[in-house]
Amino acid sequence: MDLQRDDMHFDLVIRGGRVIDPANGIDALRDVLVKRGKIAGVVTSAAPVTADRTIDARGKIVAPGLIDLHVHCYLGVSTYGLDPDRVGIRSGCTHVNDMGSTGCFTLTGFRELVASRALTDVTCFPNLLGFGLPENWGLSSTASGATGISAEETILQARANPNLVRGVKVHCEPGEFSWWGDRTFVAALEVASECKLPIYAHLGYLFPEQPGVERVDPDVMLDEAIARLRPGDLIGHAYSGHQGALIKKDGSVHPRARELAGRGILLEVGYGLTTTFAATRALFDAGIAPDVCSSDAHGITLGRPRASTDFANALSYTMAGTMTKLWALGMPLADVIRASTVTPARVLGLERTKGSLSRDVPADITVLQATGGEWELTDNAGARLRVREVLVPTHTIKAGRVHELSVMEMVEFQQEYVRAGLRVEGLELARRLGHCSRIASGQWWSDPRARREEA
C-alpha cells in the first residue's frame, strides 16, 4: 500500500498486533487500517497514520474475522439453539453457519427470525431431515420417517435463498442408516448437484438405531462416505471419539482416513460433544490434520458446568476454545487460523469477501489474546489437558464496527443455560454420547417421561 497517495487518516487503526492473515501470507507485527467499513491496508507499525479510533493490539493476535462453520443457532426452536450473536460476534466470530438445525420445512422461520435479525452474518446448511432439529429431534425425525426427506423441497428452498443456503447436511452414521439406509445421502447428492453446493456428512454415532434392525458396523461408515462424497465436500466430527468416524472400534486410525486429502474431501472438527484428545492425537500422529476448525456450539455444550475456578472451560466449547485445543495438541497457530478463516470462507463460497484482510474487503476482524497461566481443559471423554495459554477474543470488528468483548459474557453462556433448567445431572448424560446406553437404546429420544424424571 502506497500511503503517500492515500489519505493518512482512517476510521480505525489496530496497532502493533501479530497479524496472521494466511490468505495473504502475512504473519508479522503490523497495523491494520480501516476506512468506511472496509480494510484500507495492512502496513508496518511505523507507518505515520492517524485515526478516529485506535485499538492497541500489542501482544495480541489480529486475524481475519473468525468463521464458525458449525454452530446451532435456531434460537427458540429448541434448547439446542443458541443466540447467533452469542456464538458469533460475542464469541469473536463475524460469521456463523448453522449446521442442520433447520431443514426445508423450517427454513423460512430460520431466515426471518434468526438470520435477518442477527448482527453476526448467518448462513446455513439445511438438514436433509426436513424438520431440522426441533425439541426431541430424534423422535420427530423417526416419527416423520421418509416423508421428512425431500430433495425437491430442499432444492426449492436453496434456490429461493441462495445467500442463506450454502450447503446441505446429512448424517452418515449407523443410527440413521438403520432407519433409512442411504436415502438421506442420495437426497443430499441430488440437492448438492442441482444447486452446486457442498455436502457436510456427520460421522460418528448419533441417532438411536431402529429396534429389530441388524446393527450397522460403525467401521464401514467411512467407506460409505468416501463412496459418495466429492471434492470440496466435508466429513464432520472427523476427530470424534465416537464409533463410526475416523477411529475404528479397536481404537486405531481407519486405514482409509489417509485417502481423504488426496480425494479433496475436507475434514471438519465440530468439537461439540464428540471430539476427544485421544482421537485427535492419533490422527495428528498419522499426519491427518483438520481443514476446518469449528465449535459445534449448542445449548448443551454451553450449559456445561465448569471444571475449574477460572474461565478456561467457559471458553472451552466456543470457537476460541476449539482453536486453543488444536493449538495445544500441536497444530501450528497459523494453520489453526487458516482453518478458522480462509478455508471456511471457501467452503461457503465467500472467499472474495471473507476470510482475509485484503484491501477493500469488508473489515471483519478478530483480535485474540493468548492469555498465559495454568489452565486445565477437558474433552468429551473426561480427559484433561493442561495448557499454558488459552485464546481469548478481546475485540470483534464487524464491517468496521468495534465490539469490545468481556470474558464474563462468555461465562454468562453457562450461567444462563443452567438457570434455564439444563441441570448438571442431566448434562452428564451428554458427556459420552457414543457410550450412553440410554441413548443407544433410543430411550432418551422416545420416552418423554424418562426425560422428565432425569430432569
Residue 212: the pLDDT is 86
Strands 384-398, 401-404: pairing kind: antiparallel
Residue 331: the pLDDT is 97
Is 393 contained in some domain?
A: no
Give 425 or 386, the one with higher predicted confidence: 386
Q: Which of 160-164, 247-251, 340-344, 380-384 has the lowest mean pLDDT?
A: 380-384
Does residue 452 surpass a pLDDT of 90? no
Is 52 contained in some domain?
A: no
Which residue range forms the structural domain that includes residue 359? 64-365
The vertex-182 CA angle with 178 and 185, nearest 5°, equals 130
Q: 398-450, pLDDT tens digit by residue? A: 999 999 987 545 544 444 333 333 333 322 222 223 332 223 333 333 333 33
Burial (0-12, 13-18, 19+ Cβ within 10 Å), 35: buried
Give 271 or 208, the one with higher predicted confidence: 271
The rounded distance, in Å, linking the Cα atoms of 56 and 60 is 9
Q: 230-242, pLDDT tens digit by residue? A: 999 999 999 999 9
Residue 313: the pLDDT is 53
Taken in order 135, 454, 237, 246, is the CA torsion positive or negative? Answer: negative
Residue 1: the pLDDT is 54
Q: Which of 94-98, 112-116, 319-323, 435-439 has the lowest mean pLDDT?
A: 435-439
Give 192 or 298, the one with higher predicted confidence: 192
Total number of domains constituting the chain: 1
Q: Please state the separation of Cα 285 from the chain's center in Å.
A: 23
Q: Which of 412, 324, 418 is nearest to 372 (CA)?
A: 324
Is 426 contained in some domain?
A: no
Is 187 in contact with 223 (CB distance < 8 Å)? no
Residue 236: the pLDDT is 97
Does residue 455 surpass a pLDDT of 50? no
Strands 66-71, 365-378: pairing kind: unpaired
Give the confidence band of 214 by pLDDT, cuts at 50, 70, 90: confident
Alpha-carbon separation of residue 59 from 17, 18, 213, 262, 418 (angstroms): 6, 7, 57, 38, 35
Does residue 315 surpass a pLDDT of 90? no
Average pLDDT value for residue range 181-201 = 96
Q: Which of 186-190, 315-319, 349-353 has the lowest mean pLDDT?
A: 315-319
Is 192 contained in some domain?
A: yes
Q: What would the DSSP string read from start to end of 84-123?
A: HHHHTGGGTEEEEEEEEEEETTTHHHHHHHTGGG-SSEEE
Is 123 in contact with 348 (CB distance < 8 Å)? yes
Residue 280: the pLDDT is 97
Is 434 contained in some domain?
A: no
pTM of the model: 0.88
Q: What would the DSSP string read from start to end of 204-253?
A: S--SPPPTTSPPPPGGGHHHHHHHH--TT-EEESTTB-STTSSB-TTSSB
- Which helix (H) or strand (E) segment is 395 a member of? strand 384-398
Is 88 contained in some domain?
A: yes
**Above pLDDT 90, what percent of the chain?**
65
Is 183 contained in some domain?
A: yes
Residue 28: the pLDDT is 97
Average pLDDT value for residue range 56-70 = 98
Is 142 contained in some domain?
A: yes
Q: Which of 439, 344, 343, 326 is nearest to 391 (CA)?
A: 326
Residue 330: the pLDDT is 96
Alpha-carbon separation of residue 265 from 199, 201, 312 (angstroms): 10, 11, 32
Give the confidence band of 360 by pLDDT, cuts at 50, 70, 90: very high
- Looking up residue 132, the CATH number of its domain turns out to be 3.20.20.140
Q: Which of 59-68, 246-255, 316-325, 422-431 has the lowest mean pLDDT?
A: 422-431
Residue 448: the pLDDT is 37
Give the confidence band of 18 by pLDDT, cuts at 50, 70, 90: very high
Residue 211: the pLDDT is 85
3-state secondary structure of 201: strand
Residue with cell 430460520: 110
Does residue 25 surpass a pLDDT of 90? yes
Q: Which of 432, 430, 421 is nearest to 455 (CA)?
A: 421
- What are φ and ψ of residue 16, in 5° steps? 75, 10
55: Cβ contacts below 8 Å, ≥ 6 apart? 12, 13, 14, 15, 367, 395, 402
Give the confidence band of 136 by pLDDT, cuts at 50, 70, 90: confident
Q: Which of 15-19, 22-26, 387-391, 451-455 has the lowest mean pLDDT?
A: 451-455
